[in-house]
Structure 1
Amino acid sequence: MTDSASRRGALLALAVLTLVWSYNWVVMKQVLQYSGPFEFAAVRGVLATLVLFAVLALRGETLRPPPLKPVILLGLAQTTAFQSLVQWALVDGGAGKTAMLAYTMPFWLLLLAWPLLRERPDRRRLAFAALAGVGLIGVLQPWHGLGANSSALLALASGLSWALAVAISKKAFAGGGVTPLRLTAWQMLFGAIGLCVIALLVPERGIAWETPFLWGLAYNAVLASGLAWVLWALIVQRLPATVAGIVSLAVPICGVLLAWALLGERPDAWEAAGIALIAAALVGISRRAQ
């Protein structure tokens, strides 16, 4: 596959991923009416693991695990830590603001990619990252407060764990011999084990197995945790880590726009300006990847 075709495939995957993950912030908030955060994350992780391994079997790919050390670390960072922190943050935090705080991932990644991956960002990339950072401030409007401090800190920590997961993924792909689907399935398995341990240790109310919860669970298991993480692994494989991180900001932007269109949550002037700045940064960083 040529470099241009590979990049087009990654950008198409990003478009699908954006739609799935953008809407899922609303879904993850709604399911908390029927379940505790950790039980939902654990059930979601187990079902997503089953889906991914079923797809592996149907495609005829080997079920042999990749090198265990990186895949276990990836599972703990990308699935156990990220999913539990995000779901916990949503208990007291709004879906939109939690999403934006979780998507500080690209800025954590700029700090981690240099020492861990030897991807030294150039001045142009740093400038676009700074522009996106200014836009993020406009959307979050910290001078009004970020809501519950604990929720904000949990969401920021989820962004850090996700950035670490991206760095681990890049190292795993650098070794060769592992496909995005196989890496995603095995990291999901180990991550789901971690989520189950947390759910067993933390007391929560029982799950109300009602229709809205079942639909939300299916959406998360098949699309948001199954298909979407495979697409994300493909994006990380084909794009530089810092580029993948910055362009992923399309997800919270689309989430804000979906909330505006479907829920009537119209952005104010600061939020609109922030979205415009982040969009400009996305265009710039994407063109830089050519």
Structure 2
Amino acid sequence: MLGALNMGAFFALVYVAAQLLRTSVAATIMAVSPVAMMLIAWPLLAERPKPLPLAGAGLGLVGVVLLVASGSGGVNPLGVAASAAAMGLSAFGHVLTKRWGATAHVLSVTSWQLVAGGLVLLVAAVLVEGAPPRVGLPAVLGFGYVSVVATALAFSVWFTGLRHLDAGTVGLLGLLNPVTGVLLGTAVAGEVLTGRQLVGLALVLAGVLLGQPALTRRWAARRAARVAEVSPGSADHPGSSTVDSRVPVE
């Protein structure tokens, strides 16, 4: 099940969306993933959504739109459905992996999901595309990079993060994908960042920082301290029942 959710169905839907949607639209839909993970983790993991990560998800979504938005044109409904399904299934699968894979070794969890998801895709590929075509050395090297680095290693790191952090915090890190793409375009392809993209970049980074555990704990501690200062049991509160020892009691 996890292999189908996180690997098989996810990758198939992502490639369908890539064929039917502009990158900006697909990236915007996928940027909703942190909120989806927070909401799913609430009933399944008892991880109540926290204000700062929720605010960070909102900032990040706006930032992604500013980063990748380009031009106008029609939007294919099937592509939107595929992208939204990929986002929802992967968010659900990641939360289930955190719940069910807590006691298993992370490499084992990742490997079995990749094998199961690959088998699902293999059956679908044979039925739809037939036998695979011949590929040359450059294609083999490309497939090797995608398989080992961009998939196996990336998911191992992702699931390791899920094991140690809240689902919402890890989900926010996914917002760095479009940031990385834009920055690589600047560094490798010589693209120039616009003012709008710089604002979007700043918003995404601010959103990711808002979801970090240290900042969330500090904010929660300050909020608890403020509540304690004005609680009925506080000596400084007007309704306090505490008696001042300096006032004589008749």
* TM-score greater than 0.5 by the shorter chain: yes
With over 3 angstroms needed to count, the CA separation of the structure-2 counterparts of 1:223 and 1:190, relative to structure 1, is: same
SS in 2 for 1:144: coil
Query: How many Å separate the matches in 2 of 1:208 and 1:92?
Result: 26
Give 1:169's aligned residue. 97
Cα distance change of structure 1 residues 267 and 155 upon mapping to structure 2, 3 Å threshold: farther
CA distance in 2, matches of 1:119, 1:171: 11
The whole-number CA distance in structure 2 between the counterparts of 1:103 and 1:94 is 14
Specify the alignment match of 2:156 in structure 1. 230
- What residue in structure 1 maps to residue 124 of structure 2? 198
**Structure 1 residue 225: Cα displacement:** 1.8
Match of 1:283 in 2: 209
Distance in 1 (CA, whole Å) between partners of 2:108 and 2:190 is 40
Name the one with the larger helix percent.
1
Match for residue 17 of structure 2 among 89, 95, 114: 89
- Kindly name which structure, 1 or 2, has the bigger radius of gyration based on alpha carbons: 2
Q: CA deviation at 1:283?
A: 1.7
Give the Å deviation of 1:87.
2.0
State how 1:41-56 maps to structure 2 within 5 Å: none
Q: Which has the higher contact order (CA 8 A, sep 6+)?
A: 1
**1:189–1:137: structure 2 CA closer, same or farther, 3 Å change rule?**
same
Counterpart of 2:34 in structure 1 is 106
Further displaced range: 83-92 or 180-189: 83-92
The answer (yes or no) to whether the contact 1:105–1:245 under 8 Å persists in 2 is: yes
Query: In the alignment, what sits opposite 1:74?
Result: 2
Query: Which residue of 248, 253, 267 maps to 2:174?
Result: 248
- The answer to whether the 8 Å contact 1:243/1:285 transfers is yes
Cα deviation for residue 256 of structure 1 reads: 1.3
Q: Which residue of 2 aligns with 1:211?
A: 137
Q: Secondary structure at the match of 1:119?
A: coil
Q: What is the alpha-carbon distance in structure 2 between the residues aligned to residue 195 and residue 130 of structure 1?
A: 34
TM-score, scaled relative to structure 1: 0.66
Alignment-mate amino acid for residue 283 of structure 1: L
Residue 89 of structure 1 aligns to which amino acid in structure 2? Answer: A
Structure 2, gaps ≥5 residues long: 218-250
Q: Which deviates more from structure 2 when the two are superposed, residues 148-157 or residues 83-92?
A: 148-157
The number of residue pairs the alignment matches comes to: 216
Q: Measured at CA, do residues 117 and 81 of structure 1 come closer, stay the same or move farther in structure 2, by a change above 3 Å?
A: same
Seen in structure 2, the aligned counterparts of structure 1 residues 128 and 161 have a Cα distance that, compared at 3 Å, is same
Deviation at 1:208, TM superposition (A): 4.2
| RMSD (CA atoms) | 2.5
> TM (normalized to structure 2)?
0.76
Shift of 1:132: 1.5
Aligned to 2:108: 182
Identity of aligned residues (%): 29
Shift of 1:280: 0.9
1:255 partner letter: G
Distance 1:179 1:122, change over 3 A: same
CA 1:138 to 1:281, structure 2 compared with 1: closer, same or farther past 3 Å?
Answer: same
Q: Measure, in 2, the Cα distance between the counterparts of 1:239 and 1:133.
A: 21
Please say if residues 173 and 208 of structure 2, whose CA atoms lie closer than 8 Å, have aligned partners that are also in contact: yes
CA distance 1:109–1:78, change in 2 (3 Å)? same
Tell me: CA distance 1:140–1:149, structure 2 relative to 1, closer, same or farther (3 Å): farther
Give the distance between the partners of 1:120 and 1:155, measured in 2 at CA: 26
Change (3 A) 1:266 1:98: farther
Range with bigger deviation, 240-249 or 96-105: 96-105
